[in-house]
Chains A and B, each alone.
Chain A
Amino acid sequence: MGEPTPRSLHRVTLVEYPGAQAPDRQRDVVVGGVRIAVHEWGSEQDDPIFLVHGGFDFGRTYDVFAPLLAAAGWRVITWDQRGHGDSAQCALYSLDADLRDMIGVMASTTSRPAVVVGHSKGGAMSVQLADAQPFRFSHFVNIDGLPSRRPMTDLAAHERTRMLSSDITGWLQHRRLSATLERKPDTLDGLARRRGKQNPRLSLEWLRYLVTVGARHDDDGWRWKIDPSMRHGGFGPWRPEWTASRLPGLGMPFLGILAREQEPMGWGNTADDIRPYLPAGGRLELFEDTGHFVHIERPNETAAMILDFLDRGR
């Protein structure tokens, strides 16, 4: 993995959002040849907290949440996963590749165990890394990223085959076109409204802010920076229960945060799905009337809960 390199701040935030704060520092880390964009809040002398974003998100979705942790005396570090935000767009994407990038970012920051907070896909990634490399974790907080259900167990075999067939057909058609794909341009408001279909509980005001930090403004409009070759859905051998089965063996202090309200981007789990898998001494907290993006809907309460969890562990 490469040495971190400083990167100047060129962003111009056109939309303000209450509490949102651009990172104090930004740098690139080159991991296995892939440039990863890293964003930081707080003093470099403070203990680190790593925030791991979800699929189709990017580091600056933490622009409100991260400063709350930094204000409490933590160095908060997040990064754009490959193909997302300002990180390099690659030929290949996989969970293992994301985890290699995560290790590169963590190793570029500290060699000591650190706090990791993962949301959604970032939570599932962090479960796998906590199991594979527990020495990197002092505490682990998982925000609505605990897949456990077997979504197809109650389907007849012929239904499973039909689902897979449509998944494969759609994916292969996408792959045949992906070399020439571009993200669809739109107005700032238009792009915000489109994202609102996946994030129906988040305010248009917040989504407009996200556009200004997660999209680029071309001559023909705004486009999300995410690699157009990436798409929602797909197929593969991965089973949600594989993530859950790694949980009971985790040895670091664990806090799981679960949203009560189901959303398109969520995993669809309930507390009863998760509790049997909690590691010894692990906590599971539910946020009522809150959707998948817990830390965006309830940044102050989420930060307070995490800071309380970390204080107790100190």
Chain B
Amino acid sequence: MSTVTLVHNRIQLALHCLRDGSERPLLLLHGLGEQSPSAAPDWTAEWPGPVYALDFTGHGDSTVPIGGGYSAELLLGDADAALSHLGEATVVGRGLGAYIALMLAGAQPASVHGTVLCDGPGLSGGAIVPTSTSFVNIAPPYSAPDPYALVDLSRDPRPPDYAVLFARLALDHSQLAEPISVAAIVRPPWLAAVANEVGVVERSLAASLLAYARD
């Protein structure tokens, strides 16, 4: 495994190359509290190109910043930095990474060549109505995964209509007919709404990768 360091504002992001190759890359986005795998997972064996995995801010080998302040939109910036480095990629996201993968597909529809949304930690996010949120201050030092990341990103709201906007951006502007694949079994409200959009397909991770490798 080799690693390149990408700069996103004051964060240094670790982008790991889990397997070399010359075709279109596969980019893996981990779940909340996880980090990139140390080797290409078995389910990537049939993928014809290289396999990369990104450690989000506060996770794995990426910077753990002081004082928290995480949001899904910030992690979209992380994923965009990785995509900018790779040029074009097919993206597989687990849990929190699935939500970020959806956002990335909508934000960069010309560069994301298919997205697969999978189960994993942090899939649901927080309440989608105002709540009397608790606040806790955590003194440093802290190591990855950043406890503030676990707090902030486990409760960031993901209204279904907000998630659907990203899905529609991908559907409207991707070169693919079916740019979003839902492989997750669990369907929090945002994912149920996305899965319900015309053009979003529900199929296994293996079937999704096979389709995107051919397209």
- By a beta-carbon cutoff of 8 Å, the part of chain A in contact with chain B is 1-2, 31-34, 82, 88, 90-94, 96-97, 99-101, 103-104, 128-129, 131-133, 157, 160-161, 164-165, 168-169, 171-172, 175-176, 178-179, 229, 234-239, 242-243, 245-246
Contacts and interface: CB of A to CB of B under 8 A. Distances in A.
A192 to B, nearest CB: 28
A101 B132 CA distance: 17
B65 interface: yes
Contacts of A175: 8-9, 77, 80-81
B135 A237 contact: no
A232 to B, nearest CB: 15
B135 A133 contact: yes
Contact of B81 (A133, A176, A237): A176
B169 A165 contact: yes
A176 B7 CA distance: 8
Given A96-B69, A97-B69, A175-B80, A131 B132 contact: yes
B152 A2 contact: no
A191 B67 CA distance: 30
Contact of A128 (B73, B74, B133): B133
Interface stretch (B30-38, B86-94, B157-165, B179-187): B157-165
B128 to A, nearest CB: 8
Contact of A172 (B68, B77, B136, B162): B77
B10 interface: yes
Given A161-B165, A179-B9, A246-B130, A91 B65 contact: yes
B157 A237 contact: yes
Contacts of B77: 171-172, 175
A34 to B, nearest CB: 4
Nearest to B78: A175
Contact of A31 (B67, B71, B129, B172): B67
Contact of B69 (A93, A171, A172, A242): A93
B9 A32 contact: no
Given A90-B65, A92-B67, A172-B107, A104 B80 contact: no
A178 B67 contact: no
Contacts of B159: 237, 239
B9 A94 contact: no
Contacts of B132: 131-132
A251 to B, nearest CB: 12
A242 B8 contact: no
Interface in B117-138: 129-130, 132-138
A91 B57 contact: yes
A1 B139 contact: yes
A236 B133 contact: no
Contacts of B71: 94, 236
Contacts of A104: 137
A242 B129 CA distance: 7
Nearest to B68: A97
